[in-house]
């Protein structure tokens, strides 16, 4: 099985700039003027241009907005150097939402992209999650 990651953004070119600068991804293909495929990670990331205030789905009462929002799904990016990753992401326009924390399994940075999506940087230490697995 393969999975794809899709992110709604209100400004496709700005999103391409952010995700290529912050994560070192590259534009793979474009599908018209509203979708860009970014490659270079473990799975393609598709940026979907969707205007703010449009319905999230057909006949939805909830409309898209790109201020910081909560969703039960977010991306974790496993990296080797969390300090360097946070620095690059912040320089590209991300926000570090609280100081980096250290746990038995590794270090964690809670972040937000410029489009309101939360994401995390994870730097495993020792045996990673196996440090706390039953």
pLDDT at 90: 98
**pLDDT recorded at residue 17:** 98
What are the average pLDDT values for consecutive 10-residue runs of the chain, which has 134 residues? 91 97 97 96 95 85 87 91 98 97 98 96 96 92
Domain ranges of the chain: 5-131
Q: Name the residue with tokens 């990296």.
A: 79
Q: Which of 34, 111, 114 is nearest to 67 (CA)?
A: 114
83: its two tokens: 């300090």
* Rounded Cα–Cα distance for residues 78 and 67 (Å): 25
Give the global pTM. 0.88
Report the CATH superfamily, name and number, of domain 5-131. Answer: 2,3-Dihydroxybiphenyl 1,2-Dioxygenase, domain 1 (3.10.180.10)
Torsional class of 34: left (φ above 0), alpha (ψ -120 to 50), beta (otherwise): alpha
How far apart are alpha carbons 37 and 72 in whole angstroms?
23
Taking the C-alpha atoms of residue 120 and residue 38, their distance in angstroms, rounded to an integer, is 18
For 114, half-sphere exposure in the C-beta direction (CA atoms, 13 angstrom radius) is 18
- For position 1, what pLDDT does the model report? 83
What is the CA 119 to chain-centroid distance, rounded? 5
């Amino acid at each position: 099985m393969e999975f794809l990651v899709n992110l709604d953004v209100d400004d496709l070119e700005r999103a391409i700039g952010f995700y290529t600068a912050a994560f070192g991804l590259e534009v793979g293909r474009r599908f018209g003027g509203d979708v860009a495929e970014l490659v270079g990670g473990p799975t393609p990331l598709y940026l979907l241009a969707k205007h703010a205030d449009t319905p999230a789905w057909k006949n939805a009462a909830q409309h898209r907005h790109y201020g910081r929002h909560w969703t039960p799904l977010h991306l974790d990016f496993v990296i080797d150097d969390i300090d360097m990753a946070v620095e690059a992401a912040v320089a590209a326009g991300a926000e570090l939402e609280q100081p980096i924390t250290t746990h038995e399994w590794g270090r964690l940075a809670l972040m937000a992209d410029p489009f309101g999506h939360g994401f995390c940087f994870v730097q495993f230490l020792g045996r990673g999650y196996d440090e706390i697995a039953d």
